[in-house]
Structures are given as structure tokens and as C-alpha cells.
């Protein structure tokens, strides 16, 4: 780091009850879209301080420690780089786009993901898309997780953005997701209710607070589409739109999404101890190497014509293969 003034980019105060945790892992929990390698680079550069002292990656953060990340340049918005990245456009008119996002694509730039995102692609293919407030996220009305595939609506004009944003705020739309979850979900239909907020232990994931003492009100309705014994295929309709809502709610009721690394679904949670079964599940993990979640459909009143529209997308190929593999396994077990 060069001499001169330093600028604080991040500052966190560890909770009083913080269990000792390596500073690189601690920051990975708190800095959105960060990776451990990016954080370790910052540590090696002397940019990570604890209580104003430069530390190494293996420093253990304790209760009340003040963790800061400083650089010799001010924090500023990164200039959005238009990139010629293909987009799967399902529908387009003068006011909006419907995009079927592939799994693995980040929706908008953030720490460690400054390019290669859907927004970078939109900036290349479309000129003068509107922005929500001062955020440099042209056209973006809502988002889905990096490793979730499926439908997104993009606004092309200021008017459509304002109206669509209000629809999401007022829950005046119809969103359905398809997910494969661990376990045999008992009820054919059900509703999960519980406030959702940032985990108090890991800021990169969300927790459910059933007593409403923290977080925001969240409601998910589901119905079982197919049962495979050790996993269940479900359709989920969102009444609210909280971050990681489906992932957090289904973990809360004991049915994490299949292969959801952040919510504990990336290990064998149900089934037998037989070696062949273990190999079968690990093969399934390879087929769909992300949480098995797809934003299937989106319906709303068109922001300009006010006519009801409904857009439906095909399941991502990896989820199709995963479901078929579980279906064959379940049928074989019944023979």
C-alpha cells in the first residue's frame, strides 16, 4: 500500500458473543458477493485491520473487535462495463423484457463480481435503460440468486420501472418457483410463515425468526408435485419477496433445497447408508451443482396496457436431468 491517506471501505464490529473466527472467514460472512481468495489478497496487501492493527489471515476475530478494510483510494461506484454476453430473452415490447436467466450468472455487479453479470449484458444490448434511484443497475426491478435459474422482468422505461417496482412492493403479482428439497414433505400443500432477516452468525445467509423479533414478515405457499422418497419436488408461490426466502423457509421446516451449499443441502440428509445410494446422490450433486431452484413463472398486469400477462419458462436442463434421475431411482425402489 502506498503512503498517504487511507480510505475505509468496510467496517464491522464483532458481536459481544462472537466465537473466535479467522478474519478471512469472518469477512467472507459479512461482505456481500466476496470470495475467500479476494479477501486473502486484501489481507496480504495489508488492507485488513483489526482494532487499527494490520493482521494476517489466521487472526481470530473475537467479541467487540473492530474489523476494517482500507485502501489508498476512495470507495466509489465502479463504472458499469457493457459486455457482449448472450441473454435469453423470452419476451420484449417497448416497455419491458422478460429474461430467462441461467444458473451461475450474477444479476448485478458487487464485491468480487464487477463484470460478467446480467446488468453488464443489459448495458451492452440496450441503451438508456432506467435506473432505480442512484443505483447503477439499469433496468433491474428485482433479482434472483446467482445459482437460481429462471424468469426476471426488466424495465425499459422510467414509467414501467416505477409501476413494476410498486407491484413488487405491494406484492401485486404472481410468482411461482420449482424446487427439489430434501426429505418427504408430509403435507401435500402448506404455508410457511416466519420473519426472515440476516443471520446473526453468518451475514451472507438468512435465518427465520418465527416470533417476529427480527427480520421482515415472509409467507411462502407450496404444494407437492412429486415424491421421490428421500426428496420431494415442490412448487412454491411467494406471497412476499424476501432475500433467499424459499431457501431459508424450507431449511426452517427441515427440508433444505437439494445441493444448497449455503443452507446445508449439499450433503446427504435423507436416505440409506448403502454405498450405491451415496454414489447415486453424489452423481446427482454433479448433475446439478447448485441449489435446485428455478423461477418458473411470473404474472402481473402490464405496466402500460394493464392487461394481465403470464410468462412461463422451461426448467433449466440440469434440473430436468436431476429430477429424471430421482424419478427413475424412486420407481426402481418401488419395484
**Residues acting as catalytic residues:** 145
Cβ atoms of residues 294 and 165 within 8 Å? no
Cβ contacts of 137 within 8 Å, gap of 6 or more: 108, 119, 131
Q: How far apart are CA 186 and CA 317, in angstroms?
A: 28
Cell, residue 25:
472467514
Of 48, 248, 163, residue with least CA distance to 236: 248
DSSP 274: -
Residue 294, beta-bridge partner list: 149, 178
Distance CA 39, CA 27 (A): 7
Q: How many residues does the chain have?
A: 335
Backbone angles phi, psi at 158, to 5 degrees: -60, -40
DSSP letter at 328? H
Q: What is the DSSP string of 105-134?
A: --SS-BTTB-SSSHHHHHHHH-SS---STT
* Calpha distance 167→154 (Å, rounded): 13
Q: State the Cα–Cα distance between residues 311 and 231, nearest whole angstrom.
A: 27
Sign of the dihedral through C-alpha 64, 70, 75, 78: negative
How far apart are the C-alpha atoms of 143 and 137, rounded to whole Å?
A: 11
DSSP 157-183: SHHHHHHHHHHHHHT-SEEEEEEEEES
Amino acid at each position: 500500500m502506498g503512503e498517504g491517506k487511507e480510505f475505509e471501505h468496510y467496517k464491522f464490529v464483532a458481536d459481544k458473543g462472537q466465537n473466535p473466527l479467522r478474519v478471512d472467514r469472518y469477512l467472507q460472512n459479512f461482505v456481500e458477493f466476496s470470495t475467500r481468495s479476494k479477501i486473502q489478497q486484501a489481507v496480504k496487501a495489508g488492507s485488513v485491520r483489526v482494532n487499527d492493527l494490520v493482521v494476517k489471515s489466521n487472526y481470530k476475530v473475537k467479541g467487540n473487535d473492530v474489523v476494517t478494510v482500507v485502501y489508498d483510494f476512495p470507495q466509489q461506484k465502479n463504472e458499469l462495463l457493457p459486455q457482449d454476453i448472450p441473454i435469453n430473452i423470452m419476451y420484449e415490447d417497448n416497455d419491458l423484457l422478460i429474461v430467462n436467466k441461467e444458473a451461475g450468472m450474477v444479476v448485478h455487479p458487487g464485491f468480487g463480481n464487477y463484470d460478467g453479470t446480467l446488468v453488464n449484458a443489459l448495458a451492452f444490448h440496450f441503451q438508456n435503460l432506467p435506473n432505480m434511484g442512484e443505483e447503477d443497475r439499469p433496468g433491474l426491478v428485482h433479482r434472483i440468486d446467482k445459482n437460481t435459474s429462471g424468469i426476471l422482468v426488466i424495465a425499459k422505461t422510467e414509467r414501467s420501472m416505477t409501476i413494476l417496482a410498486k407491484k413488487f412492493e405491494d406484492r401485486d403479482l404472481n410468482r411461482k418457483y420449482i424446487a427439489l428439497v430434501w426429505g418427504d414433505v408430509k403435507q401435500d400443500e402448506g404455508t410457511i410463515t416466519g420473519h426472515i432477516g440476516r443471520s446473526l452468525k453468518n451475514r451472507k445467509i438468512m435465518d427465520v425468526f418465527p416470533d417476529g423479533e427480527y427480520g421482515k414478515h415472509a409467507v411462502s405457499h407450496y404444494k407437492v408435485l412429486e415424491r421421490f422418497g428421500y426428496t420431494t419436488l415442490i412448487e412454491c408461490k411467494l406471497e412476499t419477496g424476501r432475500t433467499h426466502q424459499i431457501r431459508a423457509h424450507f431449511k426452517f421446516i427441515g427440508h433444505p433445497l437439494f445441493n444448497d451449499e449455503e443452507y446445508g443441502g449439499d450433503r446427504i440428509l435423507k436416505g440409506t447408508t448403502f454405498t450405491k445410494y451415496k454414489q447415486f446422490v453424489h452423481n446427482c450433486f454433479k448433475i446439478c451443482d447448485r441449489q435446485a431452484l428455478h423461477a418458473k413463472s411470473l404474472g402481473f398486469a402490464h405496466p402500460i396496457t394493464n392487461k394481465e400477462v403470464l410468462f412461463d419458462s422451461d426448467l433449466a436442463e440440469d434440473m430436468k436431468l436431476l429430477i429424471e434421475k430421482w424419478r427413475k431411482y424412486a420407481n426402481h425402489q418401488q419395484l
